[in-house]
Amino acid sequence: MARFVTVAKADSIQPGQMIKVEIDNFPIAVANVEGTFHAFDDTCTHEDCSLADGELVRTAVVCPCHFAEFDVRNGAVLVAPATVPLKVYPVRVQGNDLQVEF
């Protein structure tokens, strides 16, 4: 059953920043794009690198290993070498709790 899991304090992630969290030992990245949070698989669909270690450029996350890019809003591949889209997760903020549906 998917449920919302509190992963961080909302004010701990500044605009333009990403963090890596784990839900049930599964790595999830959360990005703050100008005040809106987006959650997605932290592991790049190309070769298993952590996207939270990469760069957030507006609404795109750039993998640090091979510079594949994904749209953090819907997981779409923007730049190769990745070809498989990224899974994204609903996010909500309750008070100061940042919650990801997992």
Partner 1 sequence: MASASTIAIVGASLTGQSAAATLREEGFDGRVVLVGAEPQLPYDRPPLSKNYLRGGMPFEKTLLRPPEFYRERQIETRLGTTVVRVDVEKRALQLDGGDRLEFDNVLIATGGRNRRFPIPGLDLPGVYDLRTVADADRIRDAIVRGGRAVVVGMGFIGAEVAASMRQCGLEVTAIEPFKTPLYRALGEDIGLVVEGLHRDHGVTLILGDAVAAFEGKGRVERVVTRDGRRIECALAVFGLGIEPVTELVAGTGVSVDNGIVVDDHCRTNVPGVFAAGDVANHYHPVCGRQMRVEHWQNGIKQGAAAARSMLGRGQPYDEVHWFWSDQYDANIQYAGFHAAWDAVVVRGSLAERKFLAFYMAEGRVESVVAVNQGRDLRRTLPIIKARVAIDPARLADPNVDLRTLAPSERPA
List interacting residues with partner 1 (CB under 8 A): 47, 49, 53-55, 62-67, 80-81, 83
Q: Pick the closer one to partner 1 by CB: 10 or 44.
A: 44
Dist CA 5 CA 57 (whole Å):
26
- Minimum CB–partner distance for residue 61 and partner 1 (Å): 11
Q: Pick the closer one to partner 1 by CB: 19 or 65.
A: 65
Q: Which two tokens stand for residue 23?
A: 């839900």
In the beta sheet, which residues pair with residue 77?
Answer: 70
- Minimum CB–partner distance for residue 96 and partner 1 (Å): 28
Q: Pick the closer one to partner 1 by CB: 10 or 82.
A: 82
Which residue, 89, 82, 22, 83, is CA-closest to 49? Answer: 82
- Minimum CB–partner distance for residue 56 and partner 1 (Å): 10
Q: Pick the closer one to partner 1 by CB: 14 or 24.
A: 14
Q: Which two tokens stand for residue 30?
A: 């959360």
Dist CA 94 CA 80 (whole Å):
36
